[in-house]
Amino acid sequence: MVKVSSRKTQGTLTWFTTLLSFFFGLNSFNSLMLLTLNGSDFAVKLVLFNMELGMANVFTYFLFSLIATSAFLGATFFYFFKGLPADPNMLERLAKVESSSSLNTNMLENMQIGFFKRLEDNEKTTELGLQKMNMNLEESDKARENALQRMNMSLEQTGKLTNDALENQNRTLQQAQRENKENVQAFKKQSKEFANVKKKIEKIEKTLTPGRTKLTCKSKLEAIKGAKPSLVTRMRNMGINNVGQFLATDPATIAEKTNELHETVTSLQGQAQLLMIPGVDADDAELLTKVGVTSRKELANQDPVHLTRAIVHNVNAQTERKMPSSRVPTVDDVWSWIRSARQ
């Protein structure tokens, strides 16, 4: 009974160590894959039957799994072969398993050595790449600095040339402004001289040529200054429709048929005659009437100097309405009127 119980316990331990060997063998394979893919600095979370044991380096995890696998595999062999007769075939198989296990261990060690060698090679390659990159960056920085220096020099030269061009342009503009100012002053002087010459020419033309008349024979009766609308209406009833017809009709006849004073009709006819003289306007006709010149014939018989003195004296004697000095007729104006009235 004791021997049977011992064998059951030995079998249970054998199966238990086998299960653990298989479990830690899977962990060894998993850690080897993680070590190959992610490197030795990669950290993994250790979990055992849904219990978190903490974080560990993948290389430590690999060594721990490998050692545990070897330990439980050795325990499995120990419990499996404990108490069995020394069977030559079994010993031969055990020797093969041990040699295979040693081969696997050597292979794992060689893989680890090769892996670390590749890591070192990769680190060296990376360092060389970084050194080359740094050298390229330094060369790029130097080239950029040289390009910036050349650009700054070009900008300075361009700025200097631009400033010189602007200074030359400013000098040219200042000279042009001075010349323009001189030309403007000369033009103003010439304009003043031209205006004076123009005034003299106009004055000579006004003296030598008769101006336009304010009235003509075809002018309407309303154009006669002082003609009342009622008188104009009655004269139209008589058949008098323009200034020519008005002057051709006897003033006594007009006074009789319009019930107007003979002196009024005579005065209107005299003003109409005066307004038909070139250069004489309504104000001039009024001035001539006030000094006793009421017709074209009377104006033609006047002395220009005496008539001018009379007009100026009459203008100065007015108190109700002062006439501007520019509107007072000169001797030349009066002489032009008399000459036109004599034609």
- 177 within domain boundaries: no
Q: Does one domain contain both 7 and 130?
A: yes
CA distance 108 to 95: 19
Q: What is the CA 318 to chain-centroid distance, rounded?
A: 69
What was the pLDDT predicted at 46?
66
CB–CB of 34/28 below 8 Å?
no
- 196 within domain boundaries: no
Judged on CB neighbours under 10 Å (0-12, 13-18, 19+), 213 is middle
- HSE at residue 277, side-chain half, CA atoms within 13 A, is 29
What DSSP letter does each residue of 193-253 carry, written as one string? HHHHHHHHHHHHHHHHS----S--TTSBGGGSTT--HHHHHHHHHTT--BHHHHHHS-HHH
* H or E element at residue 132: helix 88-208
pLDDT in tens, the chain (343 residues): 444 466 667 678 777 888 878 877 887 788 778 778 777 677 766 666 566 666 777 778 778 878 888 887 887 877 776 655 445 665 576 677 667 767 777 777 777 787 778 778 878 887 887 888 888 888 878 888 887 888 877 788 877 888 888 888 888 888 878 887 888 887 788 778 777 766 665 554 554 444 566 778 888 888 887 788 888 899 899 888 888 888 888 989 888 888 888 888 888 888 888 888 888 887 788 888 888 888 788 888 888 888 888 888 888 877 556 667 667 888 888 888 888 888 7
What was the pLDDT predicted at 40?
67
What was the pLDDT predicted at 275?
84
What was the pLDDT predicted at 203?
55
CA dihedral 112, 115, 120, 122 (to 10 degrees): -170
- 316 within domain boundaries: yes
Considering the entire predicted model, what is its pTM? 0.36
- 52 within domain boundaries: yes
CA dihedral 297, 300, 303, 306 (to 10 degrees): 60
Query: Which residues 6+ apart lie within 8 Å of 59 measured at CB?
Result: 35, 40
Choosing from 86, 102, 134, the residue where a domain stops is: 134
Choosing from 101, 134, 167, the residue where a domain stops is: 134
- 206 within domain boundaries: no
Overall number of domains in the chain: 2
CB–CB of 215/243 below 8 Å?
yes
What was the pLDDT predicted at 88?
63
What was the pLDDT predicted at 6?
63
Write the single-letter amino acid at 79: Y
Choosing from 93, 117, 134, the residue where a domain stops is: 134
- 318 within domain boundaries: yes
- 213 within domain boundaries: no
Which range of residues forms the domain containing residue 44?
2-134
- 97 within domain boundaries: yes
CB–CB of 80/71 below 8 Å?
no
